[in-house]
Each structure stands twice: as structure tokens, then as C-alpha cells.
Amino acid sequence: MPPPQAAARRRRGKNVPVVLGLVAVIGVMATLVAYSVPLYRLFCAATGFGGTTERVANDGGAVLGPTVTVRFNTYVAPGLPWRFKPEQSAVTVRLGEEKLVYFSAENLTDQPTVGHATFNVTPYKAGPYFDKIECFCFREERLGPGQKVDMPVDFFVNPDLAKDPNARDVHTIILSYTFFRSREPQKGEDLSRFLASAPPDPRRGKALFAERCASCHALDKNRIGPMLGGVFGRRAGSVPGYPYSPGLKAAGFVWSAKTLDRWLSGPDRMIPGARMPVRVLEPSTRRDIIAYLAALRRAAGNAGTPAAARR
């Protein structure tokens, strides 16, 4: 019969693989917990699973007759001292119609805090057809002590929803947001950028231009839209070689911050028959895109702008 010490050593040796396996499982679980939100976000964005919406640059200009009601739910996870609610409980939109809605967030403490919002859409089968143009979700958002801000969501419901036989019973869509305390507060972006009183931000405007405008416009050449380098001070409809609508070609005004703001908020309202199908409904977005275009003029001056863009 083996001595007790040898038997104990054999038992401990048999337990080592079990202990190592448990440690590995715990490590995997801890990693999944730490990265569950970003992993889930990437999976849902790629597949549309769980009612995840799509992110797009514009509504494509297609508006159909059928309507759908979109309702809004908001939640705040434990640990984040915010009040968070929709400014409207529901809206009714036509398929393809771009809609701007607002959500308010308020910091209930005397310290700055950073939150991170996730979202989902129900019924899940409507998720692939719910397209967001602008949203505060999946960003680290900072609120100052006691600060309250209205945050925009610019969206539309894709007309393809009406063509999906599995979605014929979808008449109401629920968009739900949950704000959590951020794990990366150092990356927090100040929510005060949405305030009407916030100063124009050319750096944010550059990012918004790339996101919202660059698919159609370049600074130095005509693309789907005319070049926008040197747009400030240029007569509307005057870039050589670009096929403007008759209304814009004959408009006669000069592009300024005021005329650009009117144009971006609704080209067809400003110039009947305008061919630009895209609107920028959110005022702070227009403000910062215009600030970026103005900064280009100040930085480069006419000397650095293509000759055609100065005409």
C-alpha cells in the first residue's frame, strides 16, 4: 500500500488539469464579459440579428405610400446617474421618409459622467430595414455636472420592408436605447456639441463631411455632385462642366453660411426642381459641416483652391 504522502501527490497531480481547465474557462468567460457589448454590436451589425439597425449616409430619396409607427423606449443601467427619455413617445412615417427625433439626457450629479448607449429594434425582422443616418449610439458620451442635452436620431424605414413577405404584419416598430456607464471615460465626447449655443466645430465638420457628403462630393473635382472646394463666395450653379438643375443654374445667389444652411436643410424647398436628394435635418450637423467648408477657405485661401472652384 503506497504511503499517504505519495497518494496525496498523485491526487494533486490528477487535479492539476482540472484546475487549469477551470482557470481557462474563467478566463474565456471574463474576456467574453469584457467584450460582450462590442462583439455583440459587430455581430448584429453584420447580420441584422437582434433587430440591429443599419447605418447609412442618406435616405436614398425613395418615399412610398405605406406608413409605419415607430415607438421609442429608453433605459438607464444601474450605476449611471442619468435621466434619459425620448422627447416624443412615437412618430408615424412613410416608408423611405427621413425623420429627425430627439432624446434628452441629464446628468443628475455634480460630477461629469460618461455613458455609452446600445440599442435594438423589435420586431427583430424589422431591424435590417431600420436605417439610421445620425445617432449618438455606440459612442462614449460625456455630460457635465447637472447638464441636460437633447440628442438627435435621424432615421428612415427602408421601402424594402414592404417587399418582404415575412414583414407584412409589421405596422409598429419599437426602437429601444439603453445607456450604460462607460468603460472608457477617457474617450468621452462632449454632448454639448448638440446644443444650439455650441460654437461651430470644423474638426467635427470634417468627420461629418466624410460621413455624410463625401460619397457624392469631392473638394477638387466634380463627382455625383459638384466640387465643394471654394464653395464660399461662389455663385450657385457656376462650376464648369457640372449639369445643374435649371432652377439652381438660374438662382443667382452666392453661397454663404446662411444659404448653405438653407440648402442643406431642404434643397427642393429652397430651389424647386433641385436634383440633390439629400437633406441634413439636424442643425448642429449642418453648422459644423458649414464650419469645415469655411475653414478650408480660410486655411487655403483662393491661392490653394482649384481655379474651377473659384468661378
pLDDT in tens, the chain (311 residues): 555 555 555 555 555 555 455 545 444 444 433 344 443 343 344 434 444 444 455 545 556 679 999 999 999 999 999 999 999 999 999 999 999 999 999 999 999 999 999 999 999 999 999 999 999 988 999 999 999 999 999 999 999 999 999 999 999 999 999 999 999 999 999 999 999 899 999 999 999 999 999 999 999 999 999 999 999 999 999 999 999 999 999 999 999 999 999 999 999 999 999 999 889 999 999 999 999 999 998 776 544 444 444 43
pLDDT at position 50 is 45
Burial class (CB in 10 A: 0-12, 13-18, 19+), 134: buried
Q: Which residues contact 240 (CB under 8 A, 6 or more apart)?
A: 308, 311
What distances in angstroms separate CA 268 from CA 5, 63, 260, 278, 282, one per listed residue? 89, 14, 13, 9, 17
Give me the sheet containing 99-107, strands edge to edge: 54-55, 130-134, 148-157, 99-107, 82-86
Is the Cβ–Cβ distance between 86 and 175 less than 8 Å? Answer: no
Res 303: pLDDT:
46
Collapse the DSSP code of 263 into the 3-class scheme (helix H, G, I; strand E, B; otherwise coil) and give the result.
Answer: helix
**Residue 279: Cβ-neighbour burial (10 angstroms; 0-12, 13-18, 19+):** buried
Please report the pLDDT score of residue 295 as a whole number.
Answer: 94
Confidence (pLDDT) at 259 = 97
Q: Is 19 helix (H, G, I), strand (E, B) or coil?
A: helix
> Distance from first CA to last CA of the chain, Å, rounded?
102
pLDDT, residue 55, reads: 47
Q: In this predicted structure, what is the pLDDT of residue 65? A: 72
Residue 176 grid coordinates = 429601444
Per-residue confidence (pLDDT) for residue 34, from 0 to 100? 38
pLDDT value for 131: 96
The 8-class DSSP code of residue 199 comes to P
Residue 41 CB neighbour total at 10 angstroms: 16
Residues 6 or more apart whose Cβ sits within 8 Å of residue 57: 133, 211, 212, 215, 278
Structural domains present in the chain: 54-190 (2.60.370.10), 202-310 (1.10.760.10)
Cis peptide leading into residue 123 (ω within 30°): yes
CA distance 224 to 221: 10
Query: What integer pLDDT is reported at residue 145 of this predicted model?
Result: 98
Residue 280: predicted pLDDT: 95
Q: Provide CB contacts within 8 A for 306, sequence distance 6+.
A: 220, 221, 227, 229, 230
Q: What is the pLDDT of residue 149?
A: 97
Give residues with Cβ within 8 angstroms of 113, minimum separation 6. Answer: 80, 81, 82, 107, 142, 143, 181, 185
pLDDT on residue 13: 54
